Amino acid sequence: MIEKLLPRNVHVAERIVRVLAGIGILSLAFVGPETPWGYIGLIPITTGLIGTCPLYTVFGFSTCPNKKAA
């Protein structure tokens, strides 16, 4: 059930980049300009940790390699 709702559609390398970018963006809320816009960094952190991107699901896009059929 959860796999249909949140399909894994983000490649491992992209997940790492998303988390790192999210941390960088989130740091803007605490260091530097200290703007509340930095909290937008929670989105790439969350999608990177979960491994699914809602926009990828809507548009039918995936960066994960194809699963081999048994």
- Over residues 20-69, the pLDDT tens digits come to 999 999 999 999 888 899 999 999 999 999 999 999 989 999 999 876 54
pLDDT of residue 4: 82
Torsion of CA 33, 38, 44, 50, to 10 degrees: 130
pLDDT of residue 66: 73
Helix axes 42-50, 12-26, angle to 10 degrees: 160
Distance CA 66, CA 27 (A): 35
For the stretch 39-53, pLDDT in tens is 999 999 999 999 999
Indicate if the pLDDT at residue 18 is higher than 80.
yes
Which SS3 state, helix, strand or coil, does residue 49 take? helix
For residue 20, what is the enclosing H or E element? Answer: helix 12-26
Residue 25 CA, distance from chain mean position? 13
Indicate if the pLDDT at residue 1 is higher than 60.
yes
